[in-house]
Amino acid sequence: MRILTGIQPSGKLHWGNYFGAMQPSIAMQDQGETFIFIAQYHALTTVRDGAALRQSARDVALDFLACGLDPNKACLFRQADVPEVHELAWLLSTVTPMGLLERCHSYKDKLARGISANHGLFAYPVLMAADILAYQSDCVPVGRDQKQHVEVTRDIAAKFNQAFNCEVFKMPEPRISESVAVIPGLDGQKMSKSYNNTIGLFEDPKTVKQKIMRIETDSTPLEEPKNPDACRVFALYKLFANEAEQAEMRENYLRGGYGYGHAKKALLEIYTRTFAPFREKRLELEANPKLVDDILAAGADKARAVARQTLDAARLACGLD
Ligand code: ADP
Ligand code: TRP
């Protein structure tokens, strides 16, 4: 089984990205042949700063490697190292109905938020389809917000196969990790860099502490029982905790005599404990840039060879050989 996912380098990664996208895709490296790439071209639909894009792409690679991506198991590469996806994106765009793209929620949401649309933003799902189809992916782990794009990919693949009477593209399946479908941010909305409510993966420990301590809670007095399911601190704690730890924390809330301050302290501790080895690994990688360059170069070579084969088959099907 081939598993593929991409992540945009459009800012520092946060807990929502980690639990919604990174952790599930890193876990996949043990389940099949995994490709994980840094979607620079997609980020370009919104980022307007070359130095920042370069740095973010590097940061994403370091973050994945620090958090457990094993380059011997999974192929990690940068999208811009595989130019084949652009030619494929064009071939796909010629069979993509306008209406299919006009219906995409993420495009409509951006318009509704007053972002002036460029063609890249509109054509975004076609490039994403090219990413997915180029590697003959079976399974695409993504957050719920990206599910529609994988469905659009299936539509586009079917249209191409039908139009040229071929079987060039395989039908990919989205994989949404339901238990962690939407990670709440500090304000209770979806955690997102657009809402300024994030906790960064490798943010400095002092800031993490301040952010956790500032999470709004209700005014139930310390001695009274509290509802864990209505509390943002508990929602975040659950992400890090195993079943026994979750049950114990739930019990603390329901019993009373346990304040939100205690829960926040427990959240800070469990995050710190979980991330300590990742922080250490990240420092090691930062000190060894050549190693990271080599991993990305080897990943690009492997990815390019697969994309080339698919592109050649697509070119043949539509008479461009
Ligand atoms: P942001 O909302 O901060 O801009 P992105 O849209 O770049 O984040 O998301 C990158 C990946 O992380 C996607 O697969 C997305 O589904 C996942 N993701 C982002 N935020 C969350 C969240 N709060 N809960 C679950 N998954 C998330
Ligand atoms: N659009 C995805 C996101 O914002 C990133 C992405 C680009 C992607 N191409 C992909 C994800 C292909 C999965 C497969 O999160």
In Å, how far from its chain's centre is CA 61?
12
Residue 150 backbone dihedrals phi, psi, to 5 degrees: -75, -35
Tell me, what's the pLDDT at 18?
Answer: 94
Tell me the best of 128, 152, 191 to mutate to test the pocket of ligand 2, counting ligand atoms within 8 Å of each CB and taking the most. 128
If one counts every other C-beta atom within 10 angstroms of the C-beta of residue 236, the result is 25
**Are 174 and 151 contacting, i.e. CB atoms less than 8 angstroms apart?**
yes
- Does residue 193 carry a catalytic annotation? yes
User: Pick from 69, 74, 79, 33: which is nearest to 304 by CA?
Assistant: 79
Ligand 2 within 6 A of CB of 121: no
Tell me, what's the pLDDT at 179?
Answer: 65
Ligand 2 within 6 A of CB of 140: yes
Tell me the best of 13, 88, 131, 173 to mutate to test the pocket of ligand 2, counting ligand atoms within 8 Å of each CB and taking the most. 131
Tell me, what's the pLDDT at 145?
Answer: 85
- Does residue 265 carry a catalytic annotation? no
> Is residue 75 classed as helix, strand or coil in its secondary structure?
strand
Tell me the best of 10, 17, 192 to mutate to test the pocket of ligand 1, counting ligand atoms within 8 Å of each CB and taking the most. 17
> Cα(169) to centroid of ligand 2, in Å?
18
User: Pick from 128, 143, 139, 148: which is nearest to 18 by CA?
Assistant: 143
Ligand 1 within 6 A of CB of 21: yes
Ligand 1 within 6 A of CB of 34: no
Query: Which stretches of the chain drop beneath a pLDDT of 50?
Result: none
Ligand 1 within 6 A of CB of 191: yes
Where would I find the H helices in 67-190? Answer: 84-93, 98-102, 105-112, 119-134, 147-163
